[in-house]
Structure 1
Amino acid sequence: MASRLASISVDLDSLHHYCRIHGLPETVLDARARKLVYAKAVPRFRELWATVGVSGTFFAIGEDLADADASAALRQAHAAGIEIANHSFSHDYALSRRAPESIHEDLVRGEEAIRAATGTRPVGFRAPGYTLNAALYAATEARGYRYGSSAFPAAPYYAAKATVMGALALAQRPSRSVLDSPAVLLAPCEPYRPDPAQPYRRGTGAVLELPMTVTPGVRFPFIGTFAATLPLPLIRAAYKACMGRAFFNFELHAVDVLDATDGIPEALVRQQRDLQVPAARKLERLATLFRWLKADADPVPLRVAAERLAPGL
Structure 2
Amino acid sequence: MKPLASISLDLDNKWAYLKAHGDPQWESYPTYFPMIVPRVLDILEQRKQKITFFVVGQDAEHEINRAPLKAIADAGHEIANHSYNHEPWLHLYGPKQLQEEFDKSEAAIENATGQVPIGFRGPGFSLSDEVLRTLMRRGYQYDGTSFPTFLGPVARAYYFWSSGLSKDQKEDRKELFGRFTDGFKTLAPYRFSWRGRNIVEMPVTTMPIFRLPIHGSYLLFLGQYSTWLAKFYFRFALKLCKLTSVEPHFLLHPLDFMGVEDDEDMVFFPTMDEPSSKKIKLITECIDILKREFNVVTMRDHVAQARRQELPASTISVVPEGARADMA
TM-score, with structure 1 as normaliser: 0.87
SS of residue matched to 1:193: strand
Between 1:299-308 and 1:10-19, the stretch displaced more is: 10-19
Q: Deviations over 1:188-215 (max 9, x none)?
A: 1111113559xxxxxx861101000111
Contact 1:52 1:290 in 2 (8 A): no
Q: Give the Cα separation in 2 of the matches to 1:143 and 1:89.
A: 15
What is aligned with 2:153?
159
C-alpha root-mean-square deviation of aligned residues, in Å? 2.4
8 A Cα contact 1:214 1:242, kept in partner:
no
Q: Distance in 2 between matches of 1:166 and 1:253?
A: 20
Query: Aligned partner of 1:213: which letter?
Result: T
Q: Which residue of 1 aligns with 2:187?
A: 189
Counterpart of 1:163 in structure 2: which amino acid?
A
Matched-pair identity in %: 28
- How far apart, in 1, do the equivalents of 2:253 and 2:9 lie? 5
Q: Which residue of 1 aligns with 2:286?
A: 289
Tell me the equivalent position of 1:255.
255
> Higher mean Cα deviation, 170-179 or 298-307?
170-179
CA distance in 1, matches of 2:271, 2:130: 34
- Specify the alignment match of 1:71 in structure 2: 66
Distance 2:264 2:138 in 1: 37
1:46-65 matched pairs, under 5 angstroms: 46-65=41-60
1:187 counterpart letter in structure 2: K
Instruction: Report the 3-state secondary structure (helix = DSSP H, G, I; strand = E; otherwise coil) of the residue aligned with 1:10.
Output: strand
Contact conserved, 1:225 with 1:256, CA < 8 A, in 2?
yes
CA contact (8 A) 2:119 2:143 kept: yes
Residue 98 of structure 1 aligns with an amino acid whose one-letter code is Y
- SS of the residue 2:7 aligns to: strand
Counterpart amino acid of residue 5 in structure 2? A
Q: Are 2:65 and 1:35 equivalent residues in the alignment?
A: no
**Alignment-mate amino acid for residue 228 of structure 1:** L
In the aligned structure 1, how far is the partner of 2:105 from the partner of 2:259? 28
Residues 98-150 of structure 1, C-alpha deviation per residue, up to 9 Å, x if partnerless? 11121122112111111101222111100111111100011110110011100
Structure 2 equivalent of residue 21 of structure 1: 20
How many residue pairs were aligned?
298
Gaps of 5+ in 2: 312-328
Q: CA deviation at 1:182?
A: 5.0
- Secondary structure at 1:207's aligned position in 2? strand
Where does residue 173 of structure 2 map in the other structure?
Answer: 177
User: After the TM superposition, which residues 83-94 of structure 1 pair with which residues of structure 2 at under 5 Å, given as runs?
Assistant: 83-94=78-89
Task: Name the structure, 1 or 2, with higher relative contact order (CA <8 Å, separation 6+).
Answer: 1
Matched, 1:122 2:155: no
